[in-house]
Amino acid sequence: MTEYLFDPFTTGVADENPYPVYKRLRDETPFYHDERWDLWMLSRFEDVQNALKDWRTFSQEPDVDIDGFMDELLDADGNILVMDPPRHTELRRLVQGTNVFSPANLAAMEPQITAIVDGLIDRMVEKGSSDLVEDFTYPIPLSIGPVLVGFPAEDLPMLDSWQRPTQVRTLGHRGIPTEAFEAAGKIRSYIEALVDDRRRNPRNDLVSQIAHATVNGERLASEAVGLTFILFEASIDTTSGLLSNGLLALARNPEQRRRLVADPSLIPGAVEEILRYDMPVQFNARTLTTDFTAHGVTAPAGARVVVMFGSANRDERQFADADTFDVGRKISRHLGFGQGIHQCIGAPLARLEAKIALERFLARIPEFELSGPYERITKNNLRGFAHLGITF
């Protein structure tokens, strides 16, 4: 009977600690072929980094999700996450040209982000316990990223009720549940109406700029919807996962937590260590445009290759004591936000949110323990939580 080292539809979500499995992949079969799903997997840091930089060989089209999430659920032109140059370059440049994610604009947002974080902590302190996801790590990106893009704040509860089902999967199955399709359809319809409204009634926001943008002399049509969709979709669960994974690591490593409490100047570096140690996006897929050989194994053109960020960031060939969580670690590079032309466009915002959240949380709640609800997200490539209870 064939032994399968890693199941991409189960391991990262169901296993509390998938990292020993990743180590076996790196050590024993660094270019692994799972015949069940016909997926090829790169697990070492150097291999993953090289694949991310080589978009000509490792294409992001037609999808980066192994279950067809982006292609089937979002099904929207303009989604730069599933697009190669030259169109990817043109649309990404459009977003970057708005300066929404510029250092100056984000710096101006710090008081607003701090106020949101402080309000959430106030409510937690009153209770003396918390479901961190419900009370803290999820409301932060939900309240900040979509509003920065131009979604009305009053619509966030409705959008939240649709967003969460899009992340639901059945463990061990490649298919996407009906509820996820239906929820994604509602979000898409909402965004279509939002873009149409901004074309008729422009405001000072990114959605309006996208709705009225021209590329190569032509105004965006359906691409305006897809581009807005991915800016919304990518801004919530990943940042919530970064924060919840980080707070879990600090709960399990109290000596590291005390280092941050004693010296908050370590927190920006700790954010990078969290991204390395237990990053929210564990892997994505690429499609080979030509035959590709690594470690004596060849995958054919058209093959789907899983680039395993979570494994690469624990590669002992790149990081000393890679399985040790060290908030003082000096990190020159990691793959927490990807690399190459598709490096996360919202990384500066996520870093700022995480820095402020950890600073304010540890200042108010320096001691806490895991307790109560504990439930992971079931989307196969996301490592994060639906519920994470603590007491303090």
Mean pLDDT on 350-360 = 98
| pLDDT tens-digit series, residues 157-197 | 999 999 999 888 988 888 888 998 899 899 999 999 999 99
135: its two tokens: 């009370």
Query: How many CB atoms sit inside 10 A of residue 75's CB?
Result: 15
Q: Average pLDDT of the chain?
A: 93
Residue 291 pLDDT > 90: yes
Q: How far apart are CA 276 and CA 334, in angstroms?
A: 6
Q: What pLDDT is attached to residue 227? A: 94
Q: Taking residues 331-341, what's their average pLDDT?
A: 94
Q: How far is CA 57 from CA 34, 67, 135, 286, 290, in A?
A: 20, 21, 43, 9, 6
The whole-number average pLDDT for the span 107-124 is 96
**pLDDT(11) > 80:** no
Specify the higher pLDDT residue, 13 or 345. 345
- What is the greatest pairwise CA distance in the chain? 63
Cα–Cα distance measured from residue 8 to residue 381, given in angstroms and rounded to the nearest whole number: 8
Mean pLDDT, residues 326-341 taken together: 95
Q: Is 12 helix (H, G, I), strand (E, B) or coil?
A: helix
How is residue 389 annotated by DSSP? E
Q: Is the pLDDT of residue 87 over 70?
A: yes
Q: Which domains does the chain have, with CATH numbers?
A: 11-391 (1.10.630.10)
- Alpha helix ranges (H) inside 150-236: 156-163, 178-200, 206-211, 223-233
Looking at residue 54, its pLDDT comes to 98
What average pLDDT does the segment 62-81 reach? 79
pTM for this entry: 0.94
Express each pLDDT in 219-257 by its tens digit. Answer: 998 899 999 999 998 889 999 999 999 999 999 999 999
Task: Give the residues across from 219 on adjacent strands.
Answer: 214
Task: Identify the pLDDT of residue 75.
Answer: 56
Beta bridge partners of residue 390, listed in sequence order: 130, 370
Q: How confident is the model at residue 74, as a pLDDT?
A: 59
Highest mean predicted confidence (pLDDT) among 63-67, 125-129, 288-292: 288-292
Ramachandran bin of 225, using left for φ above 0, alpha for ψ from -120 to 50, beta for the remaining angles: alpha
CA–CA separation, 91 and 213 (whole Å)? 10
Least confident of 2-6, 7-11, 242-246, 285-289: 2-6
Residue 338 pLDDT > 80:
yes
1 has pLDDT over 50: no
